[in-house]
Structure 1
Amino acid sequence: MHDESERARADAATLNAAAGRTWALVAVAVALFCIQVDFFALNLAIPGISEELGVTPSAAQWTLSAYMLAVGCFFIVGGRLGDVFGRRRVLLIGITLFAAGSVGCALAPGLVWLVATRIVQGVGAGFVFPVSVAVISNVFPKETRARALGAAFGVANIGTALGPFVGGGFTQGPGWRWIFWLLAPLSALSLVIAVIHVSDSRDVSVPRRLDLIGCFTIVCCLAAVTLAVERGSAWGWDHARTLTLLGIAVVTGGLFVLREQRARHPLIDLKLFRNIPFVLVTGMGSVANMGYGVTVFVATLYLQGVRGLSPLMAGVVFLAPALVVALTGPLGARLATWMRPTVVMVLAGVIAGTGMTALSLVNAWWLYVPVFAWCGLGLGLGWTFSSVATQQVVAPARAGEASGVLLTFLVTLGAIALAGAAATITAMTPERPPEAVYDVILRVGGVVILAASAVVMAVRQWLVAHDKVAASV
């Protein structure tokens, strides 16, 4: 009888632990869903914001620039805060900031208030994203970790799919403020579930101390480069403000590296960059995310400027590739069970590169939409699976740090790619029709991603052949 009661208690404990992991996954997935909807919805709402607040579209663009600035600056800080002080605490703070920022955006009486609350949202998102990955990596055992991460990013990518549709629909319908009224209660729901079900974890090998000098220098560096890239087209790339910001980025970036080499407990352990599989995955994921941002940007201009579609109808066309992107989270997790992480990344690059190239060659609707979806499959798999793959090649104790570094590269290089695409369009459109310029950008992007895939595969094969890394990576 005693053995049976012990067995019953053990079974109950196992069930409770499994239920707790499931609810933690739900909390994280809902938070990531809100962040993705927010990011991809507001792009189509800029004209509505400009009209309602009585500002120019260029001024309204600050609602995107300020958010990107905050997000890009706080990925690394947020990830390391979670590792050092506890991932649960930082996750709750991040979700709270994002929810409060959403309410502030919905109530904003003018552009200044809207931009300020977008910064609050961005800081919250900068905390949530890397810590979410670290929470799942530490809650789930190694055998199910990739599947759990895939499920979380699958739900998040549903937000990617719905974002343009929500943004276009609300902008044409009840108004852009309803984007934020949708996000506020969903974020609150995620917060409640996280409070109840997310258990705490941290890197116990380090003291609860943060490298404040490292935080200051990396935030200054990322803020300067992000602002220069985001506003460079409007100010001019040779303008004093742009050049000054780029100079600040170089100086503070150099100071950050010097600090991290000497700090007793650095914000980023620079030895991370000696982990060749991590570098390969991060590089390939960054290239895929650059391609994703450029493709979405070019397709938006093409659908509305060349095809003459409304924001709502453009959002409908985006549903096909975006829904495919939503499937890449679970797909990547499934592929990870029988393919090596770097091989999955290379496969994603091949699909993405061929998709971008093919998209530049088709015009008929019956072919454009499925090719757009194929392109979304490769690009989405590339940047989504990179978050899963990095967790497979680093220790769980430093999961937040690795995720923060990866996300910083994804967002910063993605912004640079968008700025380059915008500058190319501006420079080439007087001599060529817009659709011809869009095709050139897509073809160049396709070639770059295919070349990156070849390089990653070649480097991996060389490392395995010379016993530098295990064949399992």
Structure 2
Amino acid sequence: MGVFVAVAAALFCVQLDFFALNLAVPGIAVELGVTVSAAQWTLSAYMLAIGCFFVVGGRVGDVYGRRGALLVGIGLFAAGSVGCALAPGLGVLVVARIVQGVGAAFVFPVSVSVVTNAFPEEGRARVLGAVFGVANIGTAVGPFVGGGFTQGPGWRWIFWLMVPLSLFSLFVAFVHVPDSRDVSAPRELDLPGCALLVCALAAVTWAVERGDAWGWGSARTLVCFVVGVVAGVLFLVRERLARHPLVDLRLFRNVPYVLVTAMGSLSNMGYAVTVFLATLYLQGVRGLSPLLAGTVFLAPALLVAVSGPLGARLGRFMRPTLVMAVAGVVAGTGMYALAEVEVWWLYVPVFAWCGLGLGLGWTFSGVATQQVVAPERAGEASGVLLTFLVTSGGVALAGSAAVISAMTPQHPPQEVYDAILRVGGLVVLAGAVAVTVARHRLVRLGGALSADARAAGRGGAREPGGGP
């Protein structure tokens, strides 16, 4: 029980912090005397840090011990929260957000692998679903808390709230979380691989984040993309040659893992875009205050919270890829329907339906990957998944912002928002169809097990619910 409380509390803090701050950006800009575009770096820097260190955090836990990595992650997050609350200017605030992001990058994958290694296989999916359910309560109340604090005592109280919650999680983890690690791996970390991966992700994320401001064809944007691609290629070469790689590339021979990761990434892209557009619509088109906009977000966010336990229950009777395909159908239809809604009272339930599908997609992907990989590689698999989720979400968000900037002079904002939602909904639906077809073909060919699992005779990479 102590493991569950520690992990759930840590993930709750991370989710609450991120989703609360989205609605606080205008208030931050006003208090610190900067533009809203500059204040947006409080989100961008955090996402950049998370995206760069997910794989590193997961692998550090696998190699050196998951308990220590979790404690370090929670400690960094708590320290970053104090720094954010006390920040006298934007520069200090952004640095503190980076510290928070690095801490969160350790907390997420290590938390998943801690649960995977602490609970027996038959109850693992249920516990993970419950953990994500608690974490998604943070998602649910985040916008409401952010809007309320921004209009009330101020945005700094978002971070002050994180401090006691983080310290509580840190204490429970210190007392109750047992240590575990990949005993087959020596206590060596592929530092060149870490450096190349961080460089590649940082360059690409930086280019995506700043592309709209710099111009997508500008020299700075192109240089960042080139640096990212070169570093990425060198990283792949390094991982093929390293004795103890940061990421075992054989992971991508595990087809169920690849399908789950791809569908989870599409779901997170849809989630990032939908939340972004809904925020613009509610405050820009409807003219709602941050607090009222946060209240509207409660309905979809609550269903996102429900999606964690729901996914775990569905996973007991359905294959992970089938659950992901169902989530894609619900999410895709929800995004498309949201663009067609004209009546205000219908917007909230459609938004909630959309939140259920998108939340189920990106939440259950974390559970599903643990069902199709061996437990000793849980941190690595979770870190890779989360890197894809965050990076793809950032790309989708930047792409949406670029489309809005390009089209709004000629078209009304709502028309542009609706067009992006329709395209996004169709893309997510297409992904669900592709996953279903691929899964069906794998079952017919008897290829649901990864090459590694066949060689080792493991059942951990088999999808539950029958079939090969």
TM range (shorter): over 0.9
1:212 aligns to 2:153 (yes or no)? no
CA contact (8 A) 2:443 2:467 kept: no
Please name the residue that 2:455 is paired with: none
> Could you tell me which residue of structure 1 aligns to residue 403 of structure 2?
424
Q: Which amino acid aligns with 2:413?
A: P
The answer to whether the aligner puts 1:456 opposite 2:435 as a matched pair is yes
- The residue type paired with residue 84 of structure 1 is V
| CA distance in structure 2 between the partners assigned to 1:110 and 1:363 by the alignment | 42
CA distance in 1, matches of 2:13, 2:175: 19
Matched, 1:292 2:271: yes
Residue of structure 2 equivalent to 1:415? 394
Q: Which among 298, 310, 318 is matched to residue 339 of structure 1?
A: 318
Q: 1:34 corresponds to which letter in structure 2? A: C
Q: Give unpaired runs (5+ residues) of structure 1.
A: 1-21
Name the CA distance, whole Å, in 1 between partners of 2:280 and 2:30: 19
Deviations 1:164-223 (A, max 9, x none): 111111011100000000001100000000000000000000100000000000000011
Is residue 39 of structure 2 the alignment partner of residue 60 of structure 1? yes
Report what 1:367 is aligned to.
Answer: 346
Q: Check conservation: 2:308, 2:363, Cα contact below 8 A.
A: yes
Aligned to 1:390, the other structure's residue is in SS state: helix
Q: Report the counterpart of residue 85 of structure 1 in structure 2.
A: 64
Following superposition, the deviation at residue 45 of structure 1 comes to 0.7
C-alpha separation between the residues in 1 aligned to 2:72 and 2:447? 41
Partner SS for 1:360 = helix
SS at match of 1:109: coil
Q: How does 1:24-103 map to 2 (within 5 A)?
A: 24-103=3-82
State the alpha-carbon separation in 2 of the partners of residues 307 and 231 from structure 1. Answer: 28
Question: Per-residue deviation at 1:238?
Answer: 1.5
Alignment counterpart, residue 243 of structure 1, candidates 208, 222, 235: 222
Deviations 1:31-50 (A, max 9, x none): 00000011111111111111
Deviation at 1:472, TM superposition (A): 4.3
TM-score (norm 2): 0.96
Residues of 1 paired with 2:284 and 2:27: CA distance? 17
Q: Which amino acid aligns with 2:55?
A: I
Confirm whether residue 262 of structure 1 aligns to residue 270 of structure 2.
no
Describe how 1:32-431 pairs up with structure 2 within 5 A: 32-431=11-410
Q: Provide Cα deviations, 1:143-168, integer angstroms capped at 9, x if missing partner.
A: 11001100110011000011111111
Once residues 140 and 314 of structure 1 are traced to their aligned partners in structure 2, the CA distance between those partners, rounded to angstroms, is 39
Give the CA deviation at 1:363: 2.3
Instruction: State the Cα distance separating 1:365 from its structure 2 match.
Output: 2.2
**CA–CA distance in structure 2, aligned partners of residues 342 and 69 of structure 1:** 29
CA distance in 2, matches of 1:293, 1:405: 19
What do residues 224-271 of structure 1 show as CA deviations (whole Å, max 9, x unaligned)? Answer: 111111121122212222111111100000000000000000000000
Residues 117-151 of structure 1, C-alpha deviations (whole Å, 9 max, x = no match): 11100000000000000000000100110011001
**How many Å apart are 1:303 and its aligned residue?**
0.6
Which consecutive segments of 4 or more residues in structure 1 shift more than 3 A? 470-473
Q: Distance in 1 between matches of 2:160 and 2:221?
A: 35
Distance in 2 (alpha carbons) for counterparts of 1:275 and 1:460: 12
Separation in 2, partners of 1:59, 1:27: 35
Gaps of 5+ in 2: 450-465
Given the two structures, how large is their TM-score scaled by the length of structure 1?
Answer: 0.95
Instruction: Give deviations 1:54-84, integer Å, cap 9, x for gaps.
Output: 1111111111111111100000000000000
The count of aligned residue pairs is: 452
Asked if 1 retains the 8 angstrom alpha-carbon contact of 2:129 and 2:308, the reply is yes
How far is 1:299 from its partner? 0.6
- Percent identity, aligned pairs only, is 73
- The amino acid of 1:378's aligned partner reads G
Distance 1:26 1:319 in 2: 24
Distance in 1, matches of 2:107 and 2:58, equals 8
Counterpart contact for 2:67–2:178, Cα < 8 Å? yes
Say which SS state the counterpart of residue 340 (structure 2) adopts: coil
Distance 2:256 2:467 in 1: 10
Is the 2:264–2:389 Cα contact (8 Å) retained in structure 1?
yes
Between the aligned partners of 2:74 and 2:444, the Cα distance in structure 1 is 45
- Counterpart code for 1:453: A
Say if 2:12 and 2:134, in contact at 8 Å, map to a contact too.
yes
CA contact (8 A) 2:49 2:101 kept: yes
State the distance in 1 between where 2:272 and 2:42 align. Answer: 17
**Matched residue SS, 2:262:** helix
Task: Report the AA paired with residue 218 of structure 1.
Answer: L
How big is the shift at 1:430?
1.2
